[in-house]
Structure 1
Amino acid sequence: MGLDMYGYTMSAEFAAGRQTDVMPTTEEEREKAQLTDIAYWRKFNHLHGWMENLYREKGGVEVFNCRTVRLELDDLERLEQALENNELEHTPGFFFGGEEIYPEDIEETKKFIAAAREALANGLAVFYDSWW
């Protein structure tokens, strides 16, 4: 068990107008949404905490487990700035791992940001999701 985190894209039409809690549940919905994974992290609680704050800013009210948050271009820019300025804070949780930030987590996040920007430029919607 632990904090598993995902970045993915989907059809903007499927996600139309929704900023949080968008996840196709059936295989048919997944195909319609054109759901595509673009990133995976394990126990990078610093990023998870940042995403939870974004979820709350966008109106999310549920426990931030198996909940999604949509990322727009300005969100990606804020995330990139937070990475560059070492502003991601440790987010404690029983399944969340320790306080250390590993270089591979930073690299995966940079790759995610680049892939997400490309996806947005191609008219797709970008989301973060997690499960713990």
Structure 2
Amino acid sequence: MGLDMYALTTDEKPQPPVDFSGPDDASQLHYWRKHPNLHGWMERLYREKGGKEDTFNCVSVALSADDIHQLEIDIEAGNLPPTSGFFFGASDGTESDDDLAFVAKLVRRSRKARRCSTRRGGSAPAQESPLRNERAFCLPLSLAA
């Protein structure tokens, strides 16, 4: 038992951005074990995007280029929220290099994808994100039983 999280990529853009079924072409990009602070960050994003499940377990959330950029900022600043739960373990800061490696994988994949430009709030293009072209990044998060 523990906290297992998986990042999957797909060529499909999940609709809606939360609580979607896994796309047929999904492939695993990254895996985390016992990283509750990242779980807390993803749960907050899930709620901001309209996620309604009472428990943030076995649910999906799509990450936009802006989300990935914000994740990178929060990792580098040490701003992943302290999070605890049953069988979660503890984040101790040593996960940062692996988290940034995940972000780097997404940047590389996004540059290859060359899809539509990302916009925040529906009006202005993303300013500083290295992910100028959006690809559907989905991160189904689950607690393994």
TM-score range, shorter chain: 0.7 to 0.9
Counterpart in the other structure of 1:79: 71
Displacement after TM superposition at 1:22 (Å): 2.1
Cα distance in structure 1, aligned partners of 2:78 and 2:97: 13
Identity of aligned residues (%): 38
Cα distance in structure 2, aligned partners of 1:108 and 1:86: 14
Counterpart in the other structure of 1:47: 38
Cα deviation, 1:15-48, whole Å, max 9, x if unaligned, reads: 2x32011233xxxxx5xx3111111110100100
More deviation, 89-98/44-53: 89-98
1:23 is aligned, of 4, 21, 28, to 21
Cα deviation, 1:73-101, whole Å, max 9, x if unaligned, reads: 11011111101111112211011102523
Say if 1:120 and 1:126, in contact at 8 Å, map to a contact too.
Answer: no
Cα distance in structure 2, aligned partners of 1:47 and 1:64: 12
Cα distance in structure 1, aligned partners of 2:136 and 2:9: 5
Say if 2:35 and 2:91, in contact at 8 Å, map to a contact too.
Answer: no
Secondary structure at the counterpart of residue 139 of structure 2: strand
Structure 1 portions without partners, runs of 5+: 25-29
What is the TM-score with the length of structure 2 in the denominator? Answer: 0.76
Counterpart in the other structure of 2:125: none
Cα distance in structure 2, aligned partners of 1:111 and 1:89: 19
Cα distance in structure 1, aligned partners of 2:70 and 2:91: 22
Say if 1:119 and 1:125, in contact at 8 Å, map to a contact too.
Answer: no
| RMSD of aligned residue pairs (Cα, Å) | 1.6
Once the two structures are superposed, the pairs formed by residues 1-132 of structure 1 within 5 Å of their partners are: 1-12=1-12, 15=14, 17-24=15-22, 33-62=24-53, 63-102=55-94, 105-121=95-111, 122=113, 123=115, 124-132=135-143
Structure 2 portions without partners, runs of 5+: 116-134
Say if 1:20 and 1:67, in contact at 8 Å, map to a contact too.
Answer: yes
More deviation, 119-128/63-72: 119-128
Cα distance in structure 2, aligned partners of 1:115 and 1:18: 24
How has the CA–CA distance of structure 1 residues 99 and 108 changed in structure 2, closer, same or farther, with 3 Å as cutoff?
closer
